[in-house]
Chain A
């Protein structure tokens, strides 16, 4: 091969991009999967933290405190390498989805809890006072308001998660960063390839960020008791 790195990069660009786009697909899958798991665990966690019984409440607190104090990379290694040692051999992609899901769930627990707390107690009482049942009050009065509080941080969480999935390359999940790593090993075009990768991440995160900002502005206008 001859020419400078940028010329080599230009010549190989179509193939490189094809491979990277395969990685993009996997990045989207891991992000989406992790997001869904985190949503479920976050709601469960928020319910635990609002439970009446103290031991259950402490369980919720423990979940949040532990998983928010340990790097997600460490959690991924425990799930992927650690569990394998005990005979539970997960594929990289499911391991990543579970890892990001559990980690994100701890974060979303706090988000959902804040959402519930942001609704003034008077709202619930006023709903009960006009004869609604507890379930009705929750569904018709409290939740619609809580959604407004929760949506912007949920959006920001999704952006953070998208970027964090790059760490899954370290457990050999074939997402964007992993593909990039392989290509760099083959071509030594580190600057060119990582810049392309950065551009691809931007192409995914900027529209999300734009959406969140719009949402934030809209929500700020919405009325909240």
Chain B
């Protein structure tokens, strides 16, 4: 690798890393909201609703994200729904992580003592009010650290989206590699860029874990 090569690659890879970040943020946002809906659906008193939500979580967690991406990108296309690769990746990864997120919420809600819900009901709150004002605010402290950890692995998993040709860092590295025939240099460079993005995030997650440890939660 010469300096010229490097100076040609770097701007392209940086732009692609921007794509990785954008994809991560969008998919994570989707996962946070969809995950909450799934978690609430699983606590629903209606059997059908909670059964569907449980099935969803089991099916998603039991299959590779790659297979899900292929189904959304190639499978839907054969049914006439043609999504751009980037959109397919955001939707696929977002819905995949939503299943994991819902488990995090569920654990968080379960960790809030039963008496909290009862006390809220006893002063006349509806189930929805109790969830919003009493249980979720306490569950958040339990939920945030594992969520941050999922953000780190989501960031890394966006690399898989390159396999459906979604524009992000790995795709660019592969394209450049087939152009310059220098895979070692390019993939190590891509690896370093992932490291630069993921490492601070992982440290942040660790910090949150330590800080949230002593929150105000009834147990």
Q: A interface vs B, CB < 8 Å? A: 5, 65-66, 68-75, 77-78, 81-86, 163-167, 169-170, 177, 180, 184, 188-191, 194-195, 197-198, 201-202, 205-206, 209
Contacts and interface: CB of A to CB of B under 8 A. Distances in A.
Q: How large is the interface on B (under 10, 10 to 19, 20 to 34, 35 or more residues)?
A: 35 or more
Contacts of A198: 59, 63, 67-68, 71
Contacts of A170: 163
Contact of A82 (B67, B163, B184): B184
A155 to B, nearest CB: 13
Contacts of A82: 183-184, 187-188
Nearest to B161: A73
A206 B182 CA distance: 41
22 contacts: A5-B78, A66-B195, A69-B152, A71-B194, A73-B160, A74-B173, A77-B170, A78-B183, A78-B187, A82-B187, A84-B183, A85-B182, A163-B64, A163-B65, A169-B66, A184-B74, A190-B74, A191-B74, A191-B75, A191-B79, A198-B59, A198-B68
Contacts of A202: 59, 62-63
B184 A65 contact: no
B117 interface: no
B147 interface: no
Contact of A68 (B76, B159, B160, B202): B202
Contacts of A180: 67, 70
Nearest to A86: B184
Given A74-B191, A188-B78, A163 B198 contact: no
B189 to A, nearest CB: 10
A177 B68 CA distance: 11
Nearest to B188: A78
Nearest to A80: B183
A190 B62 contact: no
A74 B194 contact: yes
Chain A interface mostly: helix
A60 to B, nearest CB: 16
Interface of B: 58-59, 61-68, 70-71, 74-79, 152, 156-160, 162-163, 170, 173-174, 177, 181-184, 187-188, 190-191, 194-195, 198-199, 202
Contacts of A201: 62-64, 67
Contact of A167 (B58, B66, B75, B195): B66
Nearest to B178: A81
Contacts of A85: 181-184
Contacts of A68: 198, 202
A74 B190 contact: yes
Nearest to B184: A82
Contact of B170 (A71, A163, A195, A205): A71
B86 to A, nearest CB: 17
A180 B65 CA distance: 15
A195 B59 CA distance: 11
Contact of A70 (B63, B177, B194): B194
Contacts of B191: 70, 74-75, 78
